[in-house]
Amino acid sequence: MNEQQFMDWNAQANKKELKLSRHEEFVRGLLSKQQDFSAAQIHDRLLELEPDLPVTERTTFNFVQYIRQKYNLPKPPINRRVYESVPELPYGKQAQVDFGEFTMQTQEGKNQKVYFMTMSLSRSRFKHTYFLTVPFTARTAVIAHEESFKYIGGIPGQIVYDQDSVFVSDENKGDFLLTEVFQRYVSERKFLPDFLHKADPESKGKIENVVKYVKYNFLRGRIFINNDVLNQQAIAWLERTANKKIHGTTKKSPVKELQNELEYLKTYYPVSQINPLKQYTLRKDNKVCYKGNFYTVPTGTYKGRGSKVFLMQESIKLKIYLKECINGK
C-alpha cells in the first residue's frame, strides 16, 4: 500500500466512524454503566437499535476505543483461561444443556433475578436459550427442552448435562437416577441423557460455557421489562449475533452449519401433555381446595373473580403455580 492508498483508506475509515457519531451518547451511556462492556457486545446493541447499521464490527471497535479515551472509561483487565482443543463430534450426535441465573435491573431500578436454560449443538454450535423468572423444575425444564428442539428443528442423539437436581433424584454407585418427570420425557423423546460427574474436569473441559456467553454478551446491562419481552429479545439476539457470527473455534457460522447438521438430527414433532397441570379456582381468602383439603397461597394472589392456580402433585409434594409462573412471566 503506497502513501496515497493509505490516505484514501484512512479517510474511508474515518467516514465510517463518523456514521457512529450519532450514537456517541448511547455508547458512552453503556460504558458508563458497565465499563467492562466489550466492543462486540456494543456492536450487538447498536444492531438491536439500528438493524441496518452501515459499519463493521471492526469500525465499532475503533469507535468504542475512541469513546473510552475521550471520556476516560478504560476497560478493566480480565483474566483469560487457556483451553485445549478437542476433536469435533459428528453432526447430530450431541447437544449440551446448561442452566444459569442472572440479576437484571427493572425499569424502576429494582433487582429482578432471571433463570435460563441453554441448549447448544456440540458440532454446529447452534444455540437456543429460554428464560423464566422462577427457578426451573423438572417440568419447566422439559418445556424449555421443547422450545429448544422446536427452534433448532430437530433432536440430537445425546444431551450432556451437569449433575443437576432438576433432573437427578439420586446417585447410586456412580449411576444417576432420573426424576420421574424427566424419565418419562426421555422415554418419549428417545435421546440419551449423559450426566457429568462434578469431579470430571476433563469431560467438563469439552463443553463450551454458553451460560457465560449469555450472561455477558446478552444479559449484562439489559433492562428487564417482562419475561415475554426477554425471550423475544433473546431470539432476536440469537439470530443477529450468537448464531450468525463466525464461531471462534469452528471458524464457521452456526446458522450455516446447522443446515449441515439438520439431516443428522431426529425429526422434531410436538408431543402432547408436556405440561399436564390441572387448573383450580382460587377463593377470596387466597385458599385453594385440593382433594378435600385447603391450601393457602400468598396474600394478594387472589385478583378477583376468575382467579386460577395450577396444581401438580409429585410424590408427597403438592406444587402450586400461578399461571404467570407456568408461562414464565
pLDDT digits 0-9 by tens, 288-300: 998 888 999 888 8
**Which DSSP helix (H) or strand (E) runs through 121?**
strand 111-121
Mean pLDDT of 31-36: 86
**Which DSSP helix (H) or strand (E) runs through 146?**
helix 138-152
Residues 98 and 197 in one domain: yes
Closest CA to 241 of 280, 213, 206, 267: 213
Tell whether 77 is covered by a domain: no
CATH number at residue 178: 3.30.420.10
Tell whether 242 is covered by a domain: yes
Q: How many domains does the chain have?
A: 3
Q: For 286, what's the count of Cα atoms within 13 Å in the CB-facing half-sphere? A: 9
CB 16 within 8 A of CB 57: no
Residues 163 and 45 in one domain: no
Tell whether 84 is covered by a domain: no
Residues 309 and 182 in one domain: no
Residues 183 and 147 in one domain: yes
Residues 202 and 127 in one domain: yes
Tell whether 200 is covered by a domain: yes
Residue range 222-265, pLDDT digits in tens: 999 999 999 999 999 999 999 999 998 889 999 999 999 999 99
Residues 259 and 120 in one domain: yes
Residue range 142-168, pLDDT digits in tens: 999 999 999 999 999 999 998 666 777
Closest CA to 311 of 283, 291, 329: 291
Domain end: 35, 70, 105, which one? 70
Tell whether 85 is covered by a domain: no
Domain end: 242, 267, 292, which one? 267
Residues 176 and 294 in one domain: no
Tally Cβ neighbours within 10 Å of residue 278: 10
Tell whether 78 is covered by a domain: no
The sign of the torsion formed by the CA atoms of 259, 88, 131, 107 equals negative
CB 103 within 8 A of CB 113: yes
Secondary structure (DSSP) of 201-270: HHHHTTS--HHHHHIIIIITTPEE--HHHHHHHHHHHIIIIITTSPPTTT-S-HHHHHHHHGGGSEEP--
Residues 194 and 228 in one domain: yes
Quick one: what percent of the chain has pLDDT higher than 90? 40
Mean pLDDT of 262-278: 79
pLDDT of 329 above 50: no
Residues 44 and 100 in one domain: no
- pTM here is 0.71
The residue range of the domain holding 30 is 3-70
CB 125 within 8 A of CB 257: yes
| Spatial separation of the C-alpha atoms in residues 329 and 216, rounded to whole Å | 22
Between CA 212 and CA 155, with CA 144 as vertex, the angle to 5 degrees is 95
Domain end: 70, 85, 104, which one? 70
C-alpha cell at 317: 409434594
Tell whether 89 is covered by a domain: no
Residues 169 and 316 in one domain: no
Residues 53 and 114 in one domain: no
Q: Which residues pair with 194 in a beta bridge?
A: 160
Mean pLDDT of the chain: 82
The alpha carbons of the chain give a radius of gyration, in whole angstroms, of 24
Q: Please, which residues have CB within 8 angstroms of residue 327's CB and are 6 or more apart in sequence?
A: 227
Residues 259 and 282 in one domain: no
Tell whether 315 is covered by a domain: yes
